[in-house]
Structure 1
C-alpha cells in the first residue's frame, strides 16, 4: 500500500473514532449543565479552582478526581478555559468561554433547557431506531415509545414540561435575532396569531416589542392549559389542521418542519383562510437547508433533519426549492427569505 493511501486510511480510522466518542462529549456537556458548573464559575465573577467548583456542587462529598477528568475534556472542547500558571503560582483556574456562557441556568438567553431535553433518555431512545426506519418505514419515536411524540407529550406531563421549556429557551434566542434583523416585519399589522406558540413565549416578546399588535397564542389544548397569563396575549386552544384564528398575519416558528408536505399543505391553506386576501402574510421561522453550506452553524441543520425523521411522522428540514414548491402549491403568490443570526431563517409568504 502506498504511503499516501496508508495515511488516508489512518485518517479515516481517526475520524471514525472521533464520531464514536462524540456521544461522550455530549454526555460531558449534559453533566456540566446538571452540576451547574458554568453557574458556579459565573457566581465567583471570574476563573476559580477545581476545589471551588466542587464546593459549589449540590453534594456533601463531590468526587474531585471524577470532576478533574470531566473538566479536562470540557477544556479540550473549549467549553471552559484552563490556566495552568496563575500569576500567584496557585492552583489551576477554570473560567468561562463564550460557549459556556450559553450554559448559565438563569441567563436571559440560555440553551440549558435544550441540553436537558436533547440528552434526556426519552429523546435519545428514538435515535437507536434509525436503521429500523430505513428497513421498514414508520416513526422512530413511536417505535421507541409506542405512540407519536404529540400523544406522548399529552399523556406525560413531565415530558411536556421538558419539551415546552426547551422550546421556550429557543424562542428567546430566535426572538432576539428577529427583533434585531426583522425590524419592519411586524410594523403594519394589528393582530398576529402564533401557530404552535407553545406557552406563549414568542408572541409575548413580539407584543412587548410592538405593543400595537393584538397577540393570539394558538396551540393544542393541553399546551395552552399550562400557559401563564401574558399581558397583551390571549391563549386559544385548538387544532391547526381544522382551523386557525383570524388575524392580519400568521407566525410559525419551528412548526412546519415537524410535518410532511401533505400536512404542511393543510396548515398553510388554513393560514391563507385566516388572513386577509390583500396584504396578508405568513411569517415562517424555520431552517432553510443548504447541502454545501459554509454557514456558521455548519452541519447542525442536517443533524436536525435526522431528528425530524426520528421524532415526527414525515417532518423534515427543507431546501429553498422545497419551500418554494410547498408555498406555491398552497396558493401563495410569492415569498422572500431573510437570513438572521441564528440557526433558522425567516420565510415570508404572501397571499398575492
Structure 2
C-alpha cells in the first residue's frame, strides 16, 4: 500500500517574500559569473594590483583606458563583485576603494609568488559560451537515452580531447590552461602537509591525468630528490615533454591497461573525470603495481570528497559534480562512494 501523501505546508507571508528573493537570487546568479568573466577580460584584478592593491572606480577607468561614460556602470559591476567576495570593498575613505583579496589574487597576472597560479583561464573556460550552451541542453539531455554527456552530445566533440583541438584550437588551448591551473594549484601545500609520507617513499609512479601534465611529478622530485619517479603518460604527451630532468623516467602507456611498478602510485585530480567503472579499473591496476601494505605499498591520490557539512564548500562540491555531469563522464563522490570504489578495486582499507 502506497504511503499516504504528505500535505504541503503553506508558507507564511514572510516566508513567501523571502522565497521570492531567493528565487531571484538563484535565477540571476549566472550574472555573477558573467560579471567575474567581464572583470577578468578587462584585466581589473591585475590593474588593481598594479595600482598598489587598491583602486577606486575612476582609477580603474583611467588605468584600463575605458570610456569615462562607463564609470557609473563599472561602479555597479564592482559593487556586485565586492558583495560576492571577489574583491574587498573599503568604505573608510571618501571615495570607495576596491582591494585585492585572496580570491582576486588568483586572477592577477604577472605575480612572482611561487605559490601563485593564474586562474583567469579557469574563469574564462567555466563561464564560456560552450560551457553554458552545454548546460542549457540539460532538460533535453535528460529526456534522451544517450550515453554521452551534454557537452559532447551538443558540440559533437569531447572536452580536453583532440577532437576539441581539431574543432576549436583556441578554445582547446584555454580549456587545457584552465585544467592545468585547477590541477596544479596547491601541490606545494600538499607536499608540506604529507611530508612524512613522501619522505618514507623510495619510488613512485605518477599517472598523468586529463591535463596530461607532469608538473606535480616535477614538484615531488624537487621536494624529495631521493624518490625515483616514473611518469606514465600518453605517447603524444611524452613526445612534447623536455627531457632536461634526468631523474624522471617517462613511460608511454594507458593507466586503464597498465601502471609501471613502484612503491607508491600517485594520481592528482584524475579520477573525478572518470566513470566508476574506469576508476575501479585504474585502482585495480594501481594495486597490481605496488607491493603489499606490509611492504610499504601505497596509492596516493588527491581528489574531491564531497563534504556533507552545509555551507559554501558543500555547494561548491555539488556545483563541481553537476559540471562534471555536464562536461565529462565523471562525478564528484562522497566518502561512501569512494569506499565502494576502493573495495571493488580490491583494497581492504583506506585513510582520508
TM-score class, shorter: 0.7 to 0.9
Q: Give the alignment partner of residue 218 of structure 1, picking from 232, 235, 242.
A: 232
For 1:124 and 1:226, the matched residues in 2 are separated by 32
Q: Give the alignment partner of residue 143 of structure 1, picking from 153, 167, 175.
A: 153
Shift of 1:134: 2.1
For 1:209 and 1:273, the matched residues in 2 are separated by 27
For 1:265 and 1:282, the matched residues in 2 are separated by 13
Q: Does 1:122 align with 2:122?
A: no
Residues 1:272 and 1:321: Cα distance change in structure 2 (over 3 Å): same
Total equivalences in the alignment: 331
Q: Does 1:5 align with 2:12?
A: yes
Secondary structure at 2:300 match in 1: strand
For 2:137 and 2:249, the matched residues in 1 are separated by 40
Residue correspondence of structure 1 range 183-332 to structure 2 within 5 A? 183-197=195-209, 198-229=212-243, 231=245, 232-277=247-292, 278-290=295-307, 292-294=308-310, 297-313=313-329, 315-332=330-347
Q: Does 1:99 align with 2:77?
A: no
Residues 1:129 and 1:104: Cα distance change in structure 2 (over 3 Å): same
Shift of 1:283: 0.9
Secondary structure at 1:33 match in 2: helix
Whether the aligned pair in 2 keeps the contact of 1:103 and 1:111 (CA below 8 Å) is: yes
Q: Does 1:169 align with 2:181?
A: yes
Aligned residue number for residue 28 of structure 1: 35
Whether the aligned pair in 1 keeps the contact of 2:261 and 2:290 (CA below 8 Å) is: yes
Secondary structure at 2:186 match in 1: helix
TM-score (norm 1): 0.84
Secondary structure at 1:241 match in 2: coil
CA shift digits 1:90-133 (9 cap, x unpaired) = x4432222332222123324432321221122233221122233
Residue correspondence of structure 1 range 12-161 to structure 2 within 5 A? 12-57=19-64, 63-84=70-91, 86=93, 91-107=95-111, 108-137=116-145, 138=147, 139-149=149-159, 150-153=161-164, 155=166, 156-161=168-173
Residues 1:38 and 1:301: Cα distance change in structure 2 (over 3 Å): same
Q: Does 1:333 align with 2:339?
A: no
Shift of 1:76: 2.4
Residues 1:289 and 1:82: Cα distance change in structure 2 (over 3 Å): closer
Deviates more, 1:149-158 or 1:321-330: 149-158
CA shift digits 1:222-261 (9 cap, x unpaired) = 4445445563434444322222223221111111111222
Whether the aligned pair in 2 keeps the contact of 1:35 and 1:58 (CA below 8 Å) is: no
Structure 2 segments unaligned to the other structure (5+ residues): 1-8
